[in-house]
A and B are shown apart, each in its own frame.
Chain A
Amino acid sequence: MKITQISIFLENRKGRLYDVCSLLGQNDINIRALTIAETESFGVLRIVVDKSDQAIRLLRDNHFVANFTEVVAIEVPDQPGGLASILKIFADNDVNIEYMYGFVEKFSDKALLVMRFEDTDFAQQILAKHNIHVVAEKDIQGL
């Protein structure tokens, strides 16, 4: 099951990240997971929020360059080797991960990771086959 990530292009300018976060905050949108891909001259902020449709409208209305990206949120046993056991399944099945990052908080005893796959559909098949729990969009909204 896919969830929606919002990717936001940020030029290298002081306060730009603050601008995004304060805009979302003022509009009662909660960031559940976040990472920044940075390069020398710009960054791409990736966030998972509780109200993604509203968030992207808001961002675009305020002239941010933002778009949706499909990602998968996966529950990972919060113990030594937990992530490795899942990565082994991916490696054995030729599933390529483009990037991944963690949720701010858990909502079970497991850790929650956002993963972006080269081929999301294929990755989901493999996840289902190995009974790895993925989190649904509505679960994120209810967080």
Chain B
Amino acid sequence: MDTPFWNREIETAERSRIEQIQLQRLKTIVGWALRTPFYRKRLTQVGINAPQDIRRLQDLQRIPYTTKDDLRLNFPKGLLAVDMKEVLRIHSSSGTTGIPTVIYFARDDVDNWTDLLARSITGTGAVPGDVFQNMMTYGMFTGGLGLHYGAERVGMTVIPIGGGNTKRQIQTMKDFQTTVVHVTPSYLLHIHSRLGEDGIGRPDLALRKAFIGAEPHSENTRRKLEELLQIEAYNSYGLSELNGPGVAFECVCQKDMHVWEDAYIAEVINPHTGAVLKEGEEGELVLTNLVRRATPMLRYRTRDLAFLYPQGCDCGRTHRRLSRILGRTDDMLIINGVNVFPSQIEEKIMRIPEVATNYQIHVDKNGALDRLTVKVEIYPKLFLGEVAKLEALKQKIVDELRASIVISPLVELHEPGALPVSEGKAKRVVDDRPKD
């Protein structure tokens, strides 16, 4: 099999060499972490006062886990390790409440991240001259800009079209003979369902590869996409806290994703006890970023359930592979690639006086795409009989939610008592999306 490399030396390095790099970089990043108010306190509490206190890789296990909650409580600058003048870019992702997670990148952080993406892209067999249509949302989410810069570094022709507007996506794919797309699996299915509508069918397109990420999907979904569109689809994994995409990516073998272990230390833990599990055991993925100094991230609990493969890969890469994401340890929803916490929705709607205390979050499919419906009960005393006011209320809820969760939900108004009553663990979230 033809196995293209971006950096053959690193990608095929002996295990001992990788671990040597990891240890050296871990020391460096602990040094940066000690400059942040949050980690200075955390690390000194466990006796780590200087980079030299990390002597062996096993010393990583002395460092307490970092959670999304830690990031929220230390918003906005508790994890910032450099002077703001050094910060080249700010990204963010969903928080569990109205406070988002913020990540700062210094110039070399962006450079390191971009390099990991160039490596990821090259590993799939994409080459300079490929026309890359980036259908991921740009903006503060890391999915759009991350791949954008990586593709440019590889030397691809980049079309920064962003998410949505299916007609325009298809027209653009035809006009510029796009060969590679970066897209969520559900949106790619949606695009397939719309082919032929404006007289543009599969034969008019030059598509050959898709990088699919931002939402969990099964092997069946991948094969379905590959068959429907006659392409190769490569799974991608990342999260903003750890840079974004480029944490792990599939190579041409398509047998799950190589974690770039010179840049990340991946651990899998028992989500209940926190105990580190053996290779091959399923648990919560914990990641340490070794190459970002502006916002150091040590032993971050991703809440994603997965396992690590013990051995290498036919492509010759020595970096261990990560399984598909098998679930979450929290109630986070992924809706068309956007992460949404039910608590974000609750926080917003409970502040609207016309809304009573009961609500329900409903997720289903509308064709290939996810659909989020927020059902609320109206507060009887504020009903004055006017339809326009109710419509305005609906719009207000949509606007408030969009400001928090970025996507626009459908909003349904209900009579008091119509939704299931909150009794301890009321079923606030109903996910009717088919599991495949």
Contact = CB atoms under 8 A, between A and B. Distances in A.
A22 interface: no
Contact of B378 (A9, A46, A63, A69): A9
A1 interface: no
Contacts of B418: 11, 13
A65 B380 contact: yes
A26 interface: no
Contacts of B414: 11, 42
Query: Is the contact region of chain A dominated by helix, strand, or loop, or is it mixed?
Result: strand
B416 interface: yes
Nearest to A46: B385
Interface residues of A, number: 21
A46 B418 CA distance: 21
Nearest to A8: B385
Given A11-B418, A13-B418, A42-B413, A65 B391 contact: no
Contact of A67 (B385, B394, B412): B385
Give the contact-size bracket for chain B: 10 to 19
A28 B384 CA distance: 25
B378 A65 contact: yes
A7 B385 contact: yes
Nearest to B418: A11
A69 B383 CA distance: 11
Contacts of A68: 385
B390 A9 contact: yes
Interface string B409-436: 0001111111000000000000000000
A37 interface: yes
B46 interface: no
B387 interface: yes
A41 B391 CA distance: 10
A31 B417 CA distance: 26
19 contacts: A7-B383, A7-B384, A7-B385, A9-B390, A11-B413, A11-B414, A11-B415, A12-B412, A37-B387, A39-B387, A42-B414, A44-B385, A44-B387, A60-B380, A64-B415, A65-B415, A65-B416, A66-B383, A69-B384
Please name the 7 residue pairs, one residue from A and one from B, whose CB atoms are nearest each other, closest first: A7-B385, A69-B385, A65-B380, A37-B387, A11-B414, A65-B383, A11-B415
Given A7-B383, A69-B386, 20 more contacts: A9-B383, A9-B390, A11-B413, A11-B418, A13-B418, A37-B387, A39-B387, A41-B394, A41-B412, A44-B390, A63-B415, A63-B416, A64-B415, A65-B378, A65-B416, A66-B383, A67-B383, A67-B384, A67-B385, A68-B385
Interface of B: 378, 380, 383-387, 390-391, 394, 412-418
